[in-house]
Amino acid sequence: MHLIETRDLSFTYPGGIKALNRINFIAPRNKRIAIIGPNGAGKSTLFKHFNGILKPTTGEVLIKGEPVTKENLKEVRKLIGLVFQNADDQIFSPTVEQDVAFGPINLGLDERTVAHRVNEALRLLGIEELRSRVPHHLSGGEKKRVAIAGILAMEPEVLVLDEPNAGLDPRSMRDLAEFIRSLTREYGMTVIFSTHDLSLVSELAEYVYLMHRGEFIGEGTVEELFEREDLLTSVRLDMPALPKLFGSLRRHGIDVPMAYTFDDAVRALLKAFGRDR
C-alpha cells in the first residue's frame, strides 16, 4: 500500500480552469520525489489534494489506501505535512516560537512534548536565533524556514514542500538539500517537493514527475528523465549545467561517464584522467 496514491485525479477550479487532468501519482515510502513543471503546470493544485485542502472533481486520492473523508481528515493532516509555496499563507502567530508550536498544540500534545518538538524543529532548520522574532518581519528565506519548521514539528510521515528553494540564497539552498536528504536518511520520512530548479532535482530526487498543463508528460529516475532533454526544454525547463556538459562531451565521442551531480562529475573526470585510484 502506498502512502499517497492518486488515480485519474482531475480537478477544475470554480470558474472553469481545468488544473489537473487524470493524474496518476504514487509516493513510495522513504523516497524523495520531485514534481517539476513550468508556472501554471498544476503542481500546487496537486499538492493541495494530498492533505485534503482540495477535493478531486473526478478520480481519487488515497492516503495509505483510504480516500480522504471528513472523518479521517485530521489523521491525514497529521500524516501529511504540506508547506505552502508562499510562507505568508502559513505564518500568523506573534512570534516564531509560537508559530512553530501552533501545529503540535493543535495535535493535543502536552506542554513538554510541544516545547521539545519546537526546539528540535528550530534546531534542524538552523533558526534558533529567530525564536522570539515577529514572523511578519522576517526575510523571505527566513519565513520559509519558519514555515517548514512549523510543519516538521508535527512530525508528519510525509513532508510535502511546494517550491522550498524559491528565494533562497545559494548557501541556504545547499543547507536545504542536506536537510531534505537527512529527513529521508535519518528520520525515515518521505519527501515530495516541487521546483523549477533541475539542479536541485539532480542532487536530490529519487523519482521525478514532469508536469505540464495539468498532466504528467514524463516520469522516471533523474537519469531516465534527463535523457529526454528535448522534452524538458519543450516545457521551458533548463537542464542543469553538469548533465548538459557531460552529455555534450559524450555526444562528441569523449569517453566519460554521465554525471548528474557534482560528486558524479568529479568521479567522472578523475576516471577520464586515469586518476581514479
Stretch that binds ligand ATP, among 15-23, 124-132, 183-191, 261-269 (CB under 6 A): 15-23
Shorter beta-carbon distance to ligand ATP: residue 50 or 102: 50
13 near ligand ATP (CB under 6 A): yes
Answer with the entry of Mg ion, ligand ATP, none that 184 interacts with (C-beta below 5 to 8 A by kind). Answer: none
Site string for ligand ATP, 21-40 (x = CB under 6 A): ----------------x-xx
Residue 141: other Cβ atoms inside 10 A: 16
Answer with the entry of Mg ion, ligand ATP, none that 17 interacts with (C-beta below 5 to 8 A by kind). Answer: ligand ATP
Q: Which residues pair with 208 in a beta bridge?
A: 34, 220
Tell me how far apart the alpha carbons of residues 104 and 188 are, in angstroms, rounded to a whole number: 20
Sign of CA dihedral 58, 64, 65, 70: negative
19 near ligand ATP (CB under 6 A): yes
Q: Starting at the edge strand that comes first in sequence, how are the strands of the sheet with 215-220 ordered?
A: 80-83, 158-162, 190-195, 32-36, 207-212, 215-220
Answer with the entry of Mg ion, ligand ATP, none that 51 interacts with (C-beta below 5 to 8 A by kind). Answer: none
**What residues line the site for Mg ion (CB under 5 A)?**
43-44, 85
The H-or-E segment that residue 176 falls in is helix 170-185
On the 0-12 / 13-18 / 19+ scale of CB atoms within 10 A, 1 is exposed
Site string for ligand ATP, 74-93 (x = CB under 6 A): -----------x--------
Shorter beta-carbon distance to ligand ATP: residue 12 or 119: 12
Stretch that binds ligand ATP, among 9-17, 121-129, 218-226, 255-263 (CB under 6 A): 9-17
220 near ligand ATP (CB under 6 A): no
Shorter beta-carbon distance to Mg ion: residue 37 or 104: 37
User: Which of 45, 165, 199, 202 touches ligand ATP by CB under 6 A?
Assistant: 45
Shorter beta-carbon distance to Mg ion: residue 51 or 104: 51
Torsion of Cα atoms, 199 then 203 then 209 then 211, to 10°: -20
Give the DSSP letter string of 196-212: S-HHHHHHH-SEEEEEE
Q: Is residue 64 within 8 Å of 72, Cβ to Cβ? A: no
**Interface residue list for ligand ATP (CB under 6 A):** 13, 15, 17, 19, 37, 39-45, 85
